[in-house]
A and B are shown apart, each in its own frame.
Chain A
Amino acid sequence: MTGSRLQLGHVSRSFDSLEVLRDLSIEVSQGEFVAIVGPSGCGKTTLLNLLSGFDLPTSGTVERKGESRMVHQQDGLFPWQTVSENIALGLRHVKGKQEREQQVRELLGLIRLEGFENSYPHQLSGGMRQRVELARALAGSSDILLLDEPFSALDYLTRLRMRQELARILQERPRTVVLVTHDIEEAAQLADRVLVLGERPAQIRYELSLATPRPRDPTHPEVVQAIHQVLTKLDLDSGAAEYTKT
Chain B
Amino acid sequence: MIVIWTVIWWSGIFHESAFPGPLAVLRGFREEARSGQLFTDLITSLFRVTCGFGLAVVTGIPAGLWMGQKLLLRTAFLPIVNFFRNLSPLAWIPFAILWFGVGDGSPIFLIFLSAFFPVVLATMAAAANVPTIYSRVAKDFGMSDSEKLMRVTLPAIMPQVVTTLRVTAGVCWLVVVAAEMIAGRDGLGFAVMDSRNGLRTDILVVEMIVIGLVGVGIDRALEQLTKIPSIRWGYER
- Footprint of B on A, CB under 8 Å? 49, 52-54, 68-70, 72, 75-76, 78-82, 89-90, 92, 120-122, 137
Question: Shortest beta-carbon distance, A78 to chain B, in Å?
Answer: 7
Chain A binding surface SS class? loop
Do the beta carbons of A121 and B233 come within 8 Å of each other? yes
Query: Interface residues of B, CB < 8 Å — how many?
Result: 22
A75 to B237: give the CA distance in the assembly, Å: 12
Counting from the closest, the 6 A-B pairs by CB-CB distance are A80-B155, A79-B233, A80-B230, A122-B233, A69-B140, A89-B141
B225 proximal to A (CB < 8 A): no
A6 to B134: give the CA distance in the assembly, Å: 23
B237 CB contact (under 8 Å) in A53, A70, A76, A122:
A122
With A79-B233, A122-B237 as known contacts, state yes or no: A54 contacts B139, CB within 8 Å. yes
With A120-B233, A122-B237 as known contacts, state yes or no: A76 contacts B133, CB within 8 Å. yes
Chain B contacts for A92, CB-based, 8 A: 141-142
Chain A contacts for B137, CB-based, 8 A: 70, 72, 76, 78, 89
Chain A contacts for B140, CB-based, 8 A: 52, 68-70, 137
Chain B contacts for A82, CB-based, 8 A: 229
Do the beta carbons of B152 and A53 come within 8 Å of each other? no
Digitize B123-156: 1 where CB-to-A-CB distance is under 8 Å, 0 elsewhere.
0000000010111110111100000000010011
Chain A contacts for B230, CB-based, 8 A: 80-81
Chain B binding surface SS class? helix
Closest chain B residue, CB of each to CB of A146:
B140
Do the beta carbons of B155 and A75 come within 8 Å of each other? no
B231 proximal to A (CB < 8 A): yes
A85 to B139: give the CA distance in the assembly, Å: 17
Closest chain B residue, CB of each to CB of A79:
B233
Closest chain A residue, CB of each to CB of B135:
A54
B158 proximal to A (CB < 8 A): yes
Do the beta carbons of B136 and A54 come within 8 Å of each other? yes
A76 to B131: give the CA distance in the assembly, Å: 10
A137 to B232: give the CA distance in the assembly, Å: 25
Digitize B220-234: 1 where CB-to-A-CB distance is under 8 Å, 0 elsewhere.
000000000111111
Question: Shortest beta-carbon distance, A44 to chain B, in Å?
Answer: 15
Chain B contacts for A53, CB-based, 8 A: 139
A110 to B122: give the CA distance in the assembly, Å: 41
Chain B contacts for A76, CB-based, 8 A: 133, 136-137
